[in-house]
Amino acid sequence: MRWSETYIPTLKETPAEAEIASHRLMLRAGLIRKLAAGTYSYLPLGMRSLAKVTAIIREEMEAASVREVLLPALQPAELWKRSGRWETMGPEMIRFKNRHGRDTVLGPTHEEVITDLLVGEVRSYRDLPKNLYQIQTKFRDEPRPRFGVIRSCEFLMKDAYSFDRDAEALEKRYRRMFEAYETIFKRCGLNTIPVEADTGVMGGDDSHEFMVPAGSGEDTIVQCAGCGYAASKDRAAKKLGVEIQEGVACPKCKKGMKLLPAIEVGHIFKLGTKYSAALGAAFLDEAGQSKPIIMGCYGIGVTRLLPAIIETHHDEAGILWPVSVAPYPAVIVPLKISDPAQAGLPEQVERELTEAGVECLLDDREVSAGVKMKDADLIGFPIRILLSDKTLQKNSAEVKFRGEAEATLVPLTELLQQVKKRA
């Protein structure tokens, strides 16, 4: 892929509105642009990383036997009235009357819609379990949209829902999803701490949030250095019955606990029968008795993953993408190649890498060497391949891994092999 054939509007200046590193870097590296408060466009580089993240999520959901669906964002208010959340959701839920005067909702979440989908079709214990997920835009009129796509009013979520016959089956499913979440976040290069969490407006009995420790995080978690117990601050406050400060006693081992700022990237809940009972999603058990289906729900803030990755992977010069989610693992930077015999070499390298399955971007812009190098660091391609008169005199390319201080001269004959090892 050629730089000139895509759209990467990088910025030299730091946008005034951006308060935290990931927001600044996503704007400066040309990943996103703001349309209005809480709404963002994803540009080609942002889309590529988003596609990497969603591919990882889809692979792990499929591996956990969860199947993909796509549910409507436009939802009739009637469903929300039946679950009781028409009242409890508050002004965060975007509501309007359609042209026929019917109250309508732009889905902030999908428990109601997915539960209704099973009513009358899943009838017997033989039809269970069912595990479904979608990756879809959610709408929430957030009181304070901020930090770019960390808290926006329109964002991509992966939401999965499980339907089981009893608490034991739900427990097994919950554990399986917990494991899938740990794998997903690890593959995205994120270190997460799973914490006990409050169930809030979702309802249900048990819940965990997956938190990425980061100085800019809006949430606070408490973690025990002794036994590893971790909880969200709200949950810990409820459990300890005190207000929570640094050094407060761990409810399990009584050692002092630490307070850490963190970004919530995922949230899983054992919902129980709250939605199935309200919406009539029932099944006949082996004794022929009608019972409400036992549910769980499992969310990941897909678009929030990008800033969470960047918050924990950057330096003063720009982003340091993990290879697994980089928009392109490699960038080819040709600098002043005066020998006409070498003129087509950058294109040839691009072709060979692409054919070998290494996604790369060829910086074919007519701009200074300084601009090309700065943009490569800013965007944070994991591998930079530099071709210049100097390197070509030695039949070599200069290869530098982002985040490592030293560059190495690699003979052109070994370039593909060396790059493939790290891409």
Site residues for ligand ATP per CB under 6 A: 109, 140, 142, 151-152, 155, 157, 264-267, 299, 301, 303-304
Which residue's C-beta sits nearest to ligand ATP? 301
Residue type, 306: L
DSSP letter at 79 equals H
Of 111 and 398, nearer to ligand ATP (C-beta) is 111
Residue type, 278: A
In the complex, minimum distance from the CB of residue 201 to ligand ATP, in angstroms, rounded to a whole number: 8
Half-sphere exposure of 109 (CA within 13 A, CB side): 21
In the complex, minimum distance from the CB of residue 211 to ligand ATP, in angstroms, rounded to a whole number: 9
- Per-residue CA distances from 215 to 21, 166, 190 (Å): 10, 41, 15
In the complex, minimum distance from the CB of residue 134 to ligand ATP, in angstroms, rounded to a whole number: 13
Of 304 and 314, nearer to ligand ATP (C-beta) is 304
Residue 384: name the closest of 349, 357, 413 by CA.
Answer: 349
In the complex, minimum distance from the CB of residue 281 to ligand ATP, in angstroms, rounded to a whole number: 21
DSSP E strand stretches across 55-153: 67-68, 74-76, 94-97, 103-106, 130-139
Of 151 and 384, nearer to ligand ATP (C-beta) is 151
Residue 330 · residue 382 · CB < 8 Å = yes
Of 15 and 200, nearer to ligand ATP (C-beta) is 200
In the complex, minimum distance from the CB of residue 234 to ligand ATP, in angstroms, rounded to a whole number: 10
Of 160 and 392, nearer to ligand ATP (C-beta) is 160
Of 264 and 375, nearer to ligand ATP (C-beta) is 264
In the complex, minimum distance from the CB of residue 299 to ligand ATP, in angstroms, rounded to a whole number: 3
In the complex, minimum distance from the CB of residue 127 to ligand ATP, in angstroms, rounded to a whole number: 27
Residues 6+ apart with CB under 8 A from 105: 74, 75, 76, 77, 80, 93, 94, 95
Of 260 and 415, nearer to ligand ATP (C-beta) is 260
Residue 257 · residue 251 · CB < 8 Å = no
Of 148 and 327, nearer to ligand ATP (C-beta) is 148
Of 28 and 140, nearer to ligand ATP (C-beta) is 140
Q: Residue 183 is encoded by which pair of tokens?
A: 């794998």
- Residue appearing with tokens 């048990």: 206
Dihedral class, residue 234 (left if φ above 0, else alpha if ψ from -120 to 50, else beta):
alpha
Q: Residue 313 is encoded by which pair of tokens?
A: 């992977």
Task: Annotate 54-68 with DSSP letters as a single string.
Answer: HHHHHHHHHHTT-EE
The answer to whether the Cα torsion of 347, 352, 355, 359 is positive or negative is negative
Q: Helix 44-63 crosses helix 167-187 at what angle (to 10 degrees)? A: 140
In the complex, minimum distance from the CB of residue 315 to ligand ATP, in angstroms, rounded to a whole number: 25
In the complex, minimum distance from the CB of residue 49 to ligand ATP, in angstroms, rounded to a whole number: 15
The answer to whether the Cα torsion of 13, 16, 19, 24 is positive or negative is negative
